Structures are given as C-alpha cells and as structure tokens.
Structure 1
Amino acid sequence: MATKQERPIVETTTEARGAEAGPSVLALLMVSLGLAVLILGVVWFVFFRT
C-alpha cells in the first residue's frame, strides 16, 4: 500500500504499474492467436485450395 513519507508518495513497483500481467493475459493471447490461425486456415482452405 502506498505510504506517505514527508511529502512524496512512496509506492512499490507493482503498485506504481497499476496492475500485473497474470495468467489471464497469457490465456487471452493464446486464445486470440489460436482463433487467428483457425480463421486463416479456413480462409486458405476455402479460397486457395487447389
């Protein structure tokens, strides 16, 4: 928690960043990457298959 020493407010690194990238961020990136690969695969299969 932020503490006040004299005048400036002192915060830890995590508090200063505002949030930390947890497993939910990794999950979101993996799901979006998987969907992008799936959609590109469907587009290739429909339009560019010979």
Structure 2
Amino acid sequence: MDPNHPDHLTGTEARAGTTPGVARVALFGGLTLVIIAFAIIYFVAG
C-alpha cells in the first residue's frame, strides 16, 4: 500500500476536472433550435 495513493478518492478527486457547463448549453441550444424548426414547419405547412 502506497501512502501517496489512497484506496478511496472523493468525488472531486476521482473526477479530477472541472464541469464548465458546455454540454448543458449545447443541449438547451439544440432543444431550442428543434422547437423553432417545428414551429416554422407547423405555421408554414398548416
């Protein structure tokens, strides 16, 4: 057992990175674009 490498890590230590929220922005942006596209199709075809 190496004392410099513990057996259990905290969630932050295991992740070892930041979560800037880029995926969240991309998902909401894509969802918004899909809603706008369906609204345009609805009003043009309807």
- TM-score, scaled relative to structure 1: 0.54
Moved over 2 A (4+): 11-17, 19-22
- 2:42 alignment partner, one of 17, 38, 44: 44
Q: Which runs of 5+ in 2 are unaligned?
A: none
CA distance in 2, matches of 1:37, 1:29: 12
Q: Which has the higher strand share?
A: 1
The count of corresponding residues between Structure 1 and Structure 2 is 43
Q: Which runs of 5+ in 1 are unaligned?
A: 5-10
Identity of aligned residues (%): 26
Higher relative contact order (CA 8 A, sep 6+): 1
- TM-score, scaled relative to structure 2: 0.58
Instruction: Indicate how the Cα distance of structure 1 residues 36 and 15 shifts in structure 2: closer, same or farther if over 3 A, else same.
Output: farther
**Superimposed CA distance per residue, residues 18-50 of structure 1 (whole angstroms, 9 cap, x where no aligned partner):** x775400000000000000000000000002xx
**Matches of residues 9-24 of structure 1 in structure 2 within 5 Å?**
22-24=20-22
Q: CA RMSD for the aligned pairs?
A: 2.4
